[in-house]
Homo-oligomer: A and B are copies of this chain.
Amino acid sequence: MRRVGEVRPSPGITVEELVEQYGKSGSFGAGRLARAARLLTEMLEDEECTRFLGLAGAMVPAGMRGPVLELLDEGLLDVVVSTGANLSHDLIEELGVGHYCGDETADDRDLRSRGISRIYDVYLPEEGFRAFEVGVRELLDEVDDGFTVSQMLREIGKRVSGDCLLGAAARRGVDVYCPAIQDSILGLQVWSHGLEVDAFSDMDEIMDTGFGAERTGALLVGGGVPKNYVLQTMMTAGEGLDYAVQLTTDTPVNGGLSGATLKEAVSWGKVRGRGVTVYGDATITLPILVSAARRGS
């Protein structure tokens, strides 16, 4: 048995050194985070591995595009599955006036009268929605009927900057899927634009990616549709993920998929390799993981 090591967080240490110390502890959340960094490192160094990112939670409004852009810019992701909300807020940042630091205890009727929508302690002024709506409408004008959702997102991505997720993904040839796009303000824009988009046909493409992969790995930020969609794809189009890291604030005991363990996913054939779950707010843990995971070259 290995003795639990002491964590000594002196001033000036790097994030990588911090995570090494967590690894010396090996216990509770610190141990999980260190094991997740090691598994993510393996996954990012494995050149035969097709890598998926599941992106749920309000990560983009909280300024958390950065860790994803780090991975995209270094060519470390192959597929992104996102909520509609994260893509909507990505375009709100790109096309408009962005998100602002607010107060979670504010009077929401007062915010309403001032045209501010609140996401916990983030404020979104209505000018941002306006600019988003105008900008998206112009982008959709250039998209034809008959595309799949992911094709439509690629068309949008080609026309926006590389500072946003859709733009960076398009530049890198990374597919972006959004199975519940209807359920977002981006979806509302596509609907009001009257574009005809098939609900199921981009499953061909993601299934092909799964079938063709030597090995597969996923970094799952939050649960919801992105987590399940990555897992059901791997269950259907392969033998299950070889690497899986999930960051969640949920717990298994209520039975929902968002909090389900990666061990449970083994029974379904969604995961066949190793998995590590890190419990905690991904606005804290994702930047640590991305900074600490060493990358192949």
Contact = CB atoms under 8 A, between A and B. Distances in A.
Interface of A: 1-16, 18, 21-22, 24-33, 56-58, 61-67, 69-70, 85, 98-102, 104-106, 108-109, 111-112, 116-123, 125, 149, 179-185, 187-188, 190-191, 195-201, 203, 222, 224-225, 228-229, 232, 236, 249-258, 260, 263-269, 279-288, 290-292, 294-295
Number of chain copies forming the complex: 4
A4 to B, nearest CB: 4
Pairs A-B, 8 closest by C-beta atoms: A29-B281, A25-B63, A180-B180, A9-B291, A9-B287, A27-B62, A30-B283, A199-B199
27 contacts: A2-B100, A4-B101, A8-B69, A12-B291, A15-B18, A22-B283, A24-B63, A28-B58, A28-B254, A29-B280, A29-B281, A112-B269, A118-B264, A120-B255, A179-B182, A182-B199, A183-B232, A185-B232, A187-B200, A197-B198, A197-B200, A198-B198, A224-B224, A254-B282, A280-B281, A280-B284, A284-B284
Nearest to A287: B9
A277 B123 CA distance: 20
Contact of A4 (B27, B62, B251, B265): B62
Contact of A85 (B11, B249, B257): B257
A15 B292 CA distance: 11
A255 B1 contact: no
Given A264-B118, A284-B285, A11 B5 contact: no
